[in-house]
Amino acid sequence: MKPFAFERPASVMDAAIAAAVPGASIIAGGTNLLDLMKLQVETPSRLIDINRLALDRIEPTPEGGLRIGTLVRNSDIAADIRVRQHYGVLSRALLAGASAQVRNKATTGGNLLQRTRCYYFYDISKPCNKRRPGSGCAAIGGFNRIHAILGTSQSCIATHPSDMAVAMRVLDAVVETIKPDGSKRAIAIAGFHRLPGSTPQVETVLERGETIIAVRLPPPLPGVHIYRKVRDRASFAFALVSVAAVIQMAGGRIQSARLAFGGLAHKPWRVPAAEQTLEGEAPSPAVFQAAADAVLAGAKGFGSNDFKIPLTRRTLHAVMAQATHS
C-alpha cells in the first residue's frame, strides 16, 4: 500500500471538490477499494472518507418511490421493510451478494462502482487494458470463466460483478450525483455504466469528482419479483449468470416482463426486444426460447466462458417457468 493522505470533508459538496483533485479517491465501505490498494491495482494519493456524511437514510419520494442514500449499507437496504415489500428483487439480489460481513460495510454507491473481478485485473504483473490502458487484455486467450459474452470489445471482456446493480437496472433506478461545481444530476441506471469499447478504464459516465449521493427507485412494480443467481457455490461467490425479473401475469398471459442480467457484460444487461417477445404471450418453452434468443443476440464466448450462453438460456427458462407457474 502506498502512502496516502486521508481527509474527511464536512459536506458532500466538499467531498466532490476534494475528489476532483488528481489522485484522489472516495472511500465508502472500503470493501473493494482497500483490497485493490493492497495489491496496488489502485494507488490513490488521497482518500476522501465520506462515511460521516448524513447520506445513510432511505426516504419515500413524492412520486411514491424510495430514495436510498449512498451510505446506506447493503444489509440495511436488504432488510428495510419497504424494500422487502415493494422491491423484492432488490432485497433478494443484495442478500445473494457477498457475505453478511461484507454487506454490513458495503454501501450503495460503492456497490455500483465496484470494479470487475477479472483475475488479471487484480494482478499488476499481467497485461490489462482496464488497469494499464494499452497493455493488452490477458483474459482474451486466457482463463475467462467469469467473463462477459455480451457487449465485449477487443480491449476488454470484463463483467460488472454487482448483484444489486442488476436489480436496480430491472427497476429503472436513477443515480443522483453532485459535481464539484455544486450542480446535481440524475442519471438513469441504463446509461450509468459504460461498455468497455476501446476505453475499458472508463466504467461509468461520472465526471471527475462527481459523487454519488443517492439512488432513487421509481414507484413499485407489480408482479412477481425474482432474483436468480447461478454460482459456483451456495454462498459467497459472484454470479456466473444472474437474472433479475419482474413479471406480471393477466388472464394466463404475460402482461409485462422486465428482465435484467448479471455476469454477462460490463454492465447490467437488459434487452427491450426480449421483454417485448414475452409480453402478451402465453408462457411456453418456445416463447422463453425466443426471449433467450433476443437476449443472446450477438453473444460470443471466449473459451472457458462458452458455457454462459446455454446457461443464460436455461436460467432464463427456469426463471420464466417459476414466474409464470408453467
Q: How far is the CB of 288 from other proteins (least distance, A)?
A: 8
In whole angstroms, what is the distance from residue 35 CA to residue 99 CA?
Answer: 16
Judged by CB under 8 A, the stretch of 14-22, 81-89, 113-121, 195-203 that binds other proteins is 113-121
**DSSP state letters, 64-98:** S-EEEETTSBHHHHHH-HHHHHH-HHHHHHHHTSS
Strand ranges in the chain using DSSP code E only, listed in sequence order: 5-7, 24-27, 46-49, 58-60, 66-69, 174-178, 184-188, 211-217, 224-230, 241-250, 253-262
For residue 270, report the phi and psi dihedrals to the nearest 5 degrees.
Answer: -140, 135
Coil, helix or strand at residue 256: strand
* Those residues with Cβ within 8 angstroms of residue 299's Cβ, 6 or more apart along the chain or in another chain: 149, 150, 264, 308, 309, 312
Block residue for cell numbers 428495510: 80
Note whether 111 binds ligand FAD by CB under 6 A.
yes
120 vs 288 by CB, closer to ligand SF4 = 120
Determine, following the binding rule CB under 8 A, whether residue 307 of this chain makes contact with other proteins: yes
Q: Is 138 in the site for other proteins (CB under 8 A)?
A: yes
Q: Which stretch binds ligand FAD (CB under 6 A): 27-35, 80-88, 267-275, 301-309?
A: 27-35
Q: Does 107 bind ligand FAD (CB under 6 A)?
A: yes
The neighbour count for residue 117, using CB atoms within 10 Å, is 15
The terminus-to-terminus CA distance of the chain in angstroms comes to 54
Sequence-distant (≥ 6) Cβ neighbours of residue 205 within 8 angstroms: 187, 191, 192, 194
Interaction mask 218-257, ligand FAD, x per CB under 6 A:
--------------------x-------------------
For the window 191-220, what string marks contact with ligand FAD as x by the rule CB under 6 A? --------------------xx--------
Neighbouring-strand partners of residue 269: 261
Of positions 17, 118, 296, 320, contacts ligand SF4 by CB under 6 A: 118
Question: Quick one: what does residue 28 bind among other proteins, ligand SF4, ligand FAD, none, with the CB cut-off 5 to 8 Å set by partner type?
Answer: ligand FAD
- The answer to whether 130 contacts ligand SF4 (rule: CB under 6 A) is yes
User: Binding marks (x or -) toward other proteins, 26..45, rule CB under 8 A?
Assistant: ------------xxx-----
Residue 138 as a binder of ligand SF4 (CB under 6 A): the answer is yes
Q: Where do contacts with ligand SF4 occur on this chain (CB under 6 A)?
A: 116, 118, 120-121, 128-130, 137-139, 156-158, 200
